[in-house]
Structure 1
Amino acid sequence: MINSDSFVDTLTQDSQTLQKVEPMCGTKTLKIILLGPSLLQQGGISNYEKLFLEYAPSEVHICHIITHEEGAIAIKIMVFLKAVWKFLWILLREEVDIVQLEISQRGSVLRQAIMALLAWVFHKPIILHAHGSQFHVFYAELPKWIQQLLTWVFSKCQRLIVLSESWRSFYIENLGLKPEQVVVFYNPVKIPAEVPHRSVSKKVNLLFLGRIGQRKGAFDLIEAFSLLPTEHKSISSLIMAGDGDIEQARNLVTTLNLEDYIKLPGWIGSHERDILLTEGDVFVLPSYNEGLPLAMLEAMAWELPVIVTPVGGIPEIVTQSENGLIVNPGNIQQLSDAIKSLIENEALRLSLGEKARKSVFALDIKNHWVSFLDLYRSMLNLDA
């Protein structure tokens, strides 16, 4: 667990040995407060935090303060109040170089806005790291005066990190941020050293990883699978792992008589996820909204061809028929046709998968940390 009361070297959730980046001689130890959800929480931000903390270089000491935890309203309030107290205690007692806030939408925005204001009062440099896949929808629905207040809070950060160029344009155009304030850091991925040989697959295993629900296109995927010819169903399977509207998905599977082909194991841990990625042949994520999905990047790192939609930062990573297939959100027939093409064409599967893996090498978590160190030092006017 991460000690939230003092700056410590961070550990992974399962206590595995960290892979540290060797410190540069004479470099200053950087003390960072990282505010975000619990590492035990399910979701993209928590997965990002775990990877970020696991590979933190030894010249960076990170204090991770939990601002949100799943549970009853009373539990959420208590967790946040405890986070405020810890944050204030550290600000008052210890030297802090930078405050980094992982932010999404809705309640996350309110919580992190309060923390950002506290950091601003104490004159600490602020990084907001925006992950929200539906922030544009959330922002558009806010009353004008709240939009203006939120714009003011965002303006107090020294840097806003976004997941793609399209999100960068959104924040600059809608929140009035200066272009130099907003930087693009694509989500990172841990690149496995070896991947399995999939040319001997007797059955094509389709894989979906993410929250089961309409936003991720989970129900569209089930319906698209039902449209496959019988001969294609008989040589394929679909595993949909994740939390969310699992019962609704299971009911749809039953209604369409797909129990022999589609499995919904619920939320899985990192070890089980890696097993599925090893055994998978095709990754499918037909989302309606995204930031830049970590699950997609992980699948590509495991050399899986991906079938995705052109939303969020996905089009900046996936090119049609080069390292994946792109379908329109909600177009079930188009999604089914794309799945069918990869079931029947092994050469295409292998070619797309090989190129997918190569295309995410630059997003390796170690490169991500190099970029973060440069950002930290530039904000503090330190020499590299």
Structure 2
Amino acid sequence: MSNSNSIVDTSTKDRQITEKVQPILYQGKSLKIVLLGPSLLQQGGISNYEKLFLEYAPSDVHICHIITHEEGAIAIKIIVFLKAIWKFVWMLLMEEVDIVQLEISQRGSVLRQGIMTFLAWVFHKPIIIHAHGSQFHVFYTELAKWIQQLLSWVFCKCQRLIVLSESWRSFYIENLGLKPEQVVVFYNPVKLPDEVPQRSVTQKVKLLFLGRIGQRKGAFDLIEAFSLLPIEHQTRSSLIMAGDGDIEQAGNLIKTLNLENYIKLPGWIGSDERDILLTQADVFVLPSYNEGLPLAMLEAMAWELPVIVTPVGGIPEIVTQYENGLIVNPGNIEQLSDAIKSLIENEALRLSIGAKARTSVFPLDIKKHWVYFMDLYSSVLNLKY
């Protein structure tokens, strides 16, 4: 019988965070941060990051989150952004801003946050740009030369650009002309659960995919990879693919391959449902073509799941082959299927990789992330004065 619902405490005292988040008093008062980014109700990695960031903010740091983007019709998006400009300019005029922090990805986000960056620069406010875009390099290379130069001018106005990996740091320095000292690497943080499930003696191996259903995340590759498994491995496993996106296309592919009994598409899920799925899962799979540093992968690792991922974005800086995960090449469906097969049939490998995955993300604890941010805020203020 499966013990997947039983809980074992794996937390240890030696990993307790001893760093203290020191308050920053700026001109005799608490620090005021304006955080510009998408709605917290929006689906996606930046919104999930913002929620975690705000949840663990120190009480003496006052953060005003101004929504610059919201899903919906184009008219709604324009109204939301115009309201954001009005509120931001008002706060700048009232001098209620110490640091401006912008969460940015690519395409429309670059335009919106570029305008906000210009406004912050006009009012001589310290600027931190936090780059999340998984396809920014593709977006940037497709731009006209003069737009690239304009973008470079905007980015260079920041005191610090936060990127998700060393590879992204190299890209921004080499392509946008930022100085090396302007660009810092902050890996995405993760909330570490104190307890994780006991996953030994699992009768059916439960595979989990979390993310937007589509080509970029390798969702269709995953369905095809599952179809290549021997029938005995299919019957010993199941796959849940939770997320929005091209759900109908994925469903049609599942029907075409006669996999309805093995693969489920629950759609987009909330954080509570996500944690339940992470508790119940045995293996996490994310065969992406482009990434920044996926929060879903880090969350799975924190839940002590072995991960099957691709060497894109910042992933190779976190995941080591056969150490805390399995790495396959993007688009290599047979390789992906073989990796899934190896974890279905080898429980010892699953448990070993999962345990090491959890340990490897201890340094990415959200509380430590805030320690680093407080240091960053201090350095940015010191640059101004």
Aligned length: 362
Partner of 2:49: 48
Query: Once structures 1 and 2 are overlaid, which stretch shifts more, 266-275 or 196-205?
Result: 196-205
Q: What displacement does 1:58 show?
A: 1.2
- Alignment partner, residue 146 of structure 2: 145
Once the two structures are superposed, the pairs formed by residues 283-298 of structure 1 within 5 Å of their partners are 283-298=284-299
Residues 371-380 or 26-35, more deviating:
26-35
Change (3 A) 1:41 1:360: same
Alignment of 1:192-271 (within 5 A): 192-271=193-272
Match of 1:359 in 2: 360
For the residues of structure 1 that align with 2:124 and 2:25, how far apart are their CA atoms?
Answer: 23
* 8 Å Cα contact 2:304-2:357 kept in structure 1: yes
Q: Please report how far the alpha carbon of residue 322 of structure 1 lies from its aligned counterpart in structure 2 after TM superposition.
A: 0.3
Superposed displacement of residue 25, structure 1: 6.8
Q: Deviations over 1:326-366 (max 9, x none)?
A: 00000000000000000000000000000000000000000
Cα separation, 2, equivalents of 1:304 and 1:370: 26
1:95, CA displacement in angstroms?
Answer: 2.7
Contact 1:198–1:281, Cα closer than 8 Å, also in 2 = yes
**1:199-222, Cα deviation, whole Å (9 max, x unpaired):** 031110000000000000000000
Are the structure 2 counterparts of residues 121 and 25 from structure 1 closer, same or farther at C-alpha, using a change threshold of 3 Å?
Answer: closer
3-state SS of the aligned residue for 1:338?
helix
- Equivalent position amino acid for 2:178 in 1: L
1:67-107 Cα distance to aligned partner (Å, 9 max, x none): 00000000000000000000001111133110000000000
Q: Secondary structure of 1:381's partner? A: helix
Pair 332,191 (structure 1): closer, same or farther in 2 beyond 3 Å: same
Per the alignment, residue 4 of structure 2 pairs with none
TM-aligned CA deviation for residue 23 of structure 1: 6.2
- Once residues 94 and 158 of structure 2 are traced to their aligned partners in structure 1, the CA distance between those partners, rounded to angstroms, is 22
Moved more, 23-32 or 179-188: 23-32
Which secondary structure state, in structure 2, belongs to the residue aligned with residue 195 of structure 1? strand
**Range with greater deviation from structure 2 (258-267 or 200-209):** 200-209
Q: Aligned residue for 2:369?
A: 368
- The answer as to whether partners of 1:282 and 1:349 remain within 8 angstroms in 2 is yes
Q: Which amino acid aligns with 2:70?
A: E
Report Cα offsets for 1:173-223 as digits up to 9, x if no partner: 000110000000000000000000000311100000000000000000000
TM-score, L = length of structure 1? 0.93
After TM superposition, the runs of 4+ consecutive aligned structure 1 residues lying more than 6 A away are none
Given that 2:23 and 2:61 are in contact with CA atoms closer than 8 Å, whether structure 1 keeps it comes out as no
Which position in structure 1 is the counterpart of 2:7?
Answer: none
Report the 3-state secondary structure (helix = DSSP H, G, I; strand = E; otherwise coil) of the residue aligned with 2:197: coil
Q: TM-score, normalised by structure 2?
A: 0.93
- Alignment CA distance shift 1:337-1:38 (3 Å): same
CA gap 1:113/1:25 in 2 versus in 1, 3 angstroms: closer
Paired residue secondary structure (1:64):
strand
Partner Cα separation in structure 2 for residue 153 and residue 89 of structure 1: 22
Matched residue, 1:318? 319
Contact 1:23-1:59 at 8 Å conserved across structures:
no
8 Å contact from structure 2 (residues 23, 60) kept in 1: no
* 1:313, distance to aligned residue in structure 2 (A): 0.1
Q: Single out whichever of 22-31 and 301-310 deviates more from structure 2.
A: 22-31
Query: What are structure 1's unaligned runs of at least 5 residues?
Result: 1-20
Matched with 2:178 is 177
- 1:120-135 correspondence runs (5 A): 120-135=121-136
State whether residues 24 and 378 of structure 2, in contact with CA within 8 Å, keep that contact through their aligned partners in structure 1.
Answer: no
Distance 1:243 1:341 in 2: 28
Which residue identity lines up with residue 93 of structure 1 in the other structure? M
The 8 Å contact of residues 200 and 351 in structure 2, kept in 1 or not, is answered as yes
2:195 aligns to what SS in structure 1?
A: coil
- The CA distance in 2 between the partners of 1:276 and 1:344, in whole Å, is 21
Bigger relative CO (Cα 8 Å, ≥ 6 apart): 2
What is the alpha-carbon distance in structure 2 between the residues aligned to residue 296 and residue 214 of structure 1?
17
* Aligned match of 2:382: 381
Contact 1:23 1:58 in 2 (8 A): no
Distance in structure 2 (CA, Å) of the matches to 1:59 and 1:149: 37
Deviations 1:106-141 (A, max 9, x none): 000000000000000000000000000000000000
Backbone CA RMSD of aligned residues: 1.2
After superposition, the Cα gap between the structure-2 partners of 1:38 and 1:186, relative to the gap in structure 1 and judged at 3 Å, is: same
Is the CA contact (8 Å cut-off) linking 1:22 and 1:58 kept in structure 2?
Answer: no
The one-letter code of the counterpart of 2:338 is D
d(CA) in 2 for partners of 1:249, 1:51: 30
SS at match of 1:95: coil
Q: Unmatched 5+ residue regions in structure 2?
A: 1-18
Written as runs of structure 1 = structure 2, the 5 A alignment for 1:298-337 is: 298-337=299-338
Task: Give the corresponding residue for 2:5.
Answer: none
Cα distance change of structure 1 residues 237 and 25 upon mapping to structure 2, 3 Å threshold: closer
Counterparts of 2:24 and 2:268 in 1: how far apart (Å)? Answer: 44
Instruction: Go from structure 1 to structure 2 and tell me whether the alpha carbon gap of 1:314 and 1:24 turns closer, same or farther (over 3 Å shift).
Output: closer
Q: Which residue of 1 aligns with 2:94?
A: 93
Cα distance in 2 for residues equivalent to 1:201 and 1:188: 30
Q: Given residue 269 of structure 1, which amino acid in structure 2 is its aligned partner?
A: G
Letter in structure 1 aligned against 2:131: A
Q: State the distance in 2 between where 1:174 and 1:25 align.
A: 36
Amino acid corresponding to residue 151 of structure 1 in structure 2: S
Number of the residue aligned with 2:8? none
Q: Secondary structure at the match of 1:352?
A: helix
